[in-house]
A and B are shown apart, each in its own frame.
Chain A
Amino acid sequence: MKFMPELFTQSSARLGTLSELERTPDVVLETPLLMLYTKRGSVPHITKEVLEMITPEKLLLTMSLPTTFDMTDPVRQFKSIADFVGLKEYPVFLTMEDPAQPTVSGYNDEDTIAVWTRHGKQIINADGYMDIVEAFRPDFYLALYDSDTHSGSSSKRITKSVDRSIKMLDKCLTRHKASEVVRNKGIFGAVGGGYNTTAREMSIKNLEGKDLAGYVIDGLHNNGPETEKIPFQFVEDIVKHTISLLPQDKMRVTMGAWNPVTVINLIKLGVDLFDSSYPYLVTERSCALTFLYHHSETGESPMISISEKRYADDFTPICKDCKCLTCLNHTRAYLHHLYQTKELLGAVLLMIHNIHHYLEYFKEIRNSLRNGTFRELETKIYVIFAKNDSAN
């Protein structure tokens, strides 16, 4: 595994490349990167055949423990979880929480973590977790830790979480280094500490000198659609402070369904990896993102809700400038009909468009960093969303 950040002088934002993964050596990914959100091993609504139509790139897939926990035993018969779910050409990042689903709070213990699966609560410790990791053989994974903190957590609870987490990390690292099958994979450490600066510093101090592929800046939210509503200002100081203490040569991840304004700002602070739970949640609300092809003169909102009656006889695509499979082939009227009739193709077509849209957004962000036009893009995105409080 190789991560090469190129640093930028004007802001903390950086471009980088991720390559030389053990299992998928041909994959080269550019950061800031949008990882593809999966649920039970699949991009929701999207089969491999359709995924390949959305993009030929073999993007990094995020898989979360709650939605894959039940698969552990059968996965052992396969080379990796990627092989098991039929996406073996794609690299995988195993995370502990489902970013699209609010995390149930209050069940973690001294050295165990509660994982909420389809069949209820499962309790695992670091050893149990590493057994799963050895079965899954993800290309990247997050060391087990206590993530049960958020903006409202008491400092006592936060300190406890930081203490527990370092013990779990050490156990995971010991197993990691000794394991034939995962020692060449990338292990990430979670930076916890909620919104408490001291606890953050403690957490980072604990991670210092450990052999990690990168850091997940966690404890900023409790997952699910609520994450979209978090304004950048709310997380700015703590993320900025956290990143200032992290080494430059390691990847930084913030999981969750951040809105596009917060995303571009987090990139400005130096975050490298995000997941696509946001376009997924937008799809589940029968909405289509339009902010990237926004024409300010028409006063359009950054997304449209295809359920609205006014689209029943609108024979234009979601975005006339969008080159996705949905926009090239289908109209808003057809999408509205599929919504009305609750047909499965509706979510498929919206997901194709929304993923494409968000991938294009990240491409544009990378281009703007390359061309020195990041500030213009940032302003454009800010203006579009400032007019519309709905998504911000």
Chain B
Amino acid sequence: MDRKQPCRVPLTFKIAETCSTSKARTGLMILPHHDVDTPVFMPVGTQGTLKGLLPQQLEKLDCQIILGNTYHLGTRPGTTILQMAGGLHQFMNWKRALLTDSGGFQMVSLLQLAHITEEGVTFRSPYDGSECVLTPEHSIEIQNTIGADIIMQLDDVVHAKVTGPRVEEAMHRTTRWVDRCLLAHQKSDEQNIFPIVQGGLDPQLRTESAKLLTQRQVNGFAIGGLSGGESKNDFWRMVHLSTNVLPVDKPRYLMGVGFAVDLVVCCALGVDMFDCVFPTRTARFGCALIRTGQLNLRQKQYKYDTAPIDDSCDCSTCKNYTRAYLHQIVTQETVACHLLSVHNINFQLRLMRDIRDSIKEQTFPQFVRKFMLELYPDGEYPTWITEALEAVDIKLSK
């Protein structure tokens, strides 16, 4: 595809292979700035940078898409600067695909006084205390300026544990807001708005939400309102139910999910895109991800450990550095944070590559069984994992 030509459809999703057992699928999502292999994990670069890593390092890790946060970017550097720069791609010199959130969730979680009305998210400016409203239109306007390949509708966020009429109200409001977002969208040939399936943990509401959104002219869908402290038992059922209703031929993005085990289960449930701050955040505290869990390199036990973090890992950290040296510099030198970020991002991307390869080769169920047995060597799997996988015909080995 020639990228110099403006593509009329800013997203083409081609499924290459579907798992013959589960709902897992692998494919290619063609976006204006880059092609993305799915299922994909998107590292989070909140403020137009990914935890000390150069864009060149991310490219070397074969990272195809990263996420930016609209609330943070709208505050600093602000839309004026981003406009002058020609969008976030130019500003941070990232040549591959980008996705931004709507800013609403960040506001509700970061600003104590934020509340939601039909107009939008009302909040007090953290700078001058004045009352401001982030409307669906305004969110899209900011995201149009940022210029990410995929942008999110503003949704009415309800905490995962809230029940009752508020959940229903939020679901319907989210549906009304997606129409306002689509109407306000100025760059529909360059950017894709994904609506967000809501409905809390109520199967009926979630089904209805997914059905309503499916009626809109969009190129992909997000599943929201999960990974906010609900039980795993509710979590997987809501994901399973959402992917059952959403159209097969469009990408599905499960927001805020990124623990390795969740990635594996949710790929089986038919999710194509994930994001999570965890791999880079945990790096700052000296934690390295491995298939059997994680290493806290601050611990004394690594002082004389001459092994790399993971000898099967092909990242530049594992090729050059040992646990013993990392133990000396974690939380002391920024270099340690960079080294662990490289490894942790590679860990996530490698896991997704393995998932994609296994789906392509029709060995995904075997991959899942092997992965789970490595993580739970005694075969004592958490019930939610067993049940979620059984729902898509994958039986774990004892």
Number of chain A residues close to chain B: CB under 8 A: 43
Say whether, besides A41-B329, A74-B303, A50 and B84 are in contact (CB < 8 Å). Answer: no
Give, as a whole number of angstroms, the nearest-CB distance from B178 to chain A.
30
Q: Does A8 contact B (CB under 8 A)?
A: no
**What are 9 A-B contacts defined by CB distance under 8 Å?**
A50-B338, A53-B54, A74-B304, A74-B328, A325-B56, A345-B50, A345-B51, A345-B53, A348-B334
Is A178 in contact with chain B by the CB < 8 A criterion?
no
Stretch in A147-155, A157-165, A241-249, A330-338 touching the partner: A330-338
Cβ of A275 to closest chain B Cβ, rounded Å: 18
Smallest CB–CB gap between A82 and chain B, Å?
A: 11
Asked if A70 and B334 make an inter-chain contact with CB atoms under 8 angstroms apart, the answer reads: no
What 8 new A-B contacts, CB under 8 Å, besides A50-B54, A345-B51? A47-B339, A48-B320, A49-B57, A74-B303, A77-B324, A331-B91, A341-B76, A344-B338
Q: Does B196 contact A (CB under 8 A)?
A: no
A343 & B49 in contact (Cβ 8 Å cutoff): yes
Q: Cβ of A179 < 8 Å from any Cβ of B?
A: no
- Indicate if the CB atoms of B335 and A44 lie closer than 8 Å: yes
**Are B77 and A340 in contact, with the CB atoms below 8 A?**
yes
The 9 A-B pairs of least Cβ separation, nearest first, read A344-B52, A86-B321, A86-B320, A42-B335, A345-B49, A49-B316, A337-B77, A341-B47, A74-B324
- How many inter-chain residue pairs (CB < 8 Å) link A and B? 123
Within the assembled complex, what's the spacing in Å between the Cα atoms of A49 and B61? 12
A71 at interface by CB-CB < 8 Å: yes
Question: Is residue B81 contacting chain A, with contact meaning CB distance below 8 A?
Answer: yes
Closest partner residue, chain A, to B315 (CB atom): A49
CB interface residues, B 52-76, toward A, < 8 Å? 52-57, 60, 72, 76
Confirm or deny: B289 has a beta carbon within 8 angstroms of a beta carbon on chain A: no
- Which residue of chain A has its CB nearest to the CB of B48? A337
Query: A84 to B335, Cβ gap below 8 A?
Result: no
Main secondary structure of the interface of B (DSSP, over half): helix
Verify if B7 is at the interface (C-beta below 8 Å from A): no
Residue pair A338, B85 in contact (C-beta under 8 Å): no
Q: Decide: B49 and A338 in contact? CB cutoff 8 A.
A: yes
**Residue from B91, B316, B325 with most neighbouring chain A CB atoms (10 Å):** B325
Shortest distance between the CB of B316 and any CB in chain A (Å):
4
Collect the chain A residues with CB atoms within 8 Å of residue B60's CB. Answer: 49
A78 to B333, CA, bound (A): 21
| Most chain A beta-carbon neighbours within 10 Å: one of B48, B77, B335 | B335
Contact between chains at B338 and A47 (CB < 8 Å):
yes
Determine how close the nearest CB of chain A comes to the CB of B317; give it in whole angstroms.
8
Judge whether A329 is part of the interface by a CB distance below 8 angstroms. Answer: yes
Decide yes or no whether B294 CB sits under 8 A from chain A: no
Mask for B312-346, Cβ within 8 A of A = 1, else 0? 00001100111011011100111101110010000
Q: Which residue of A lies closest to B321 (CB)?
A: A86
Q: Is A293 part of the contact surface with B, judged by Cβ < 8 Å? A: no
0/1 per residue, A310-348, Cβ < 8 Å to B?
001101000000000100011101100110110111011
Residues of B contacting A70 with CB < 8 Å?
A: 328
Question: Nearest Cβ in chain A — how far from B80, in angstroms?
Answer: 8
Q: Are B91 and A45 in contact (CB under 8 A)?
A: no
The reply to whether B325 and A345 form a contact with Cβ atoms under 8 Å apart is no
Q: Which of B52, B80, B85, B328 contacts A345 (CB 8 A)?
A: B52
Q: How far is the CA of A338 from the CA of B49 in the complex (A)?
A: 8
Q: Which residue of B lies closest to A70 (CB)?
A: B328
Query: For residue A340, which residue of chain B has the nearest CB?
Result: B76
* Selected contact of A337 from candidates B76, B93, B303, CB within 8 Å: B76
* Contact call A47/B335, Cβ cutoff below 8 A: yes
In the complex, whether A58 has a CB less than 8 A from a CB of chain B is no
Contact A77 B306 (CB under 8 A): yes
Name the residue on B nearest A345 (C-beta).
B49
B48 engages A48 (CB within 8 Å): no
Contact of B337 among A43, A338, A340, A344 (CB under 8 A): A344
How far apart sit A333 and B53, CA to CA, in the bound complex (Å)?
18
Which of B91, B333, B334, B339 touches A334 (beta carbons < 8 Å)?
B91
Nearest chain A CB to B2 CB, angstrom units: 24
Kindly list chain B residues whose C-beta atoms are within 8 Å of the C-beta of A349. 54
The answer, yes or no, to whether B92 is at the interface (CB within 8 Å) is yes
CB of A312 within 8 A of CB of B77, answer yes
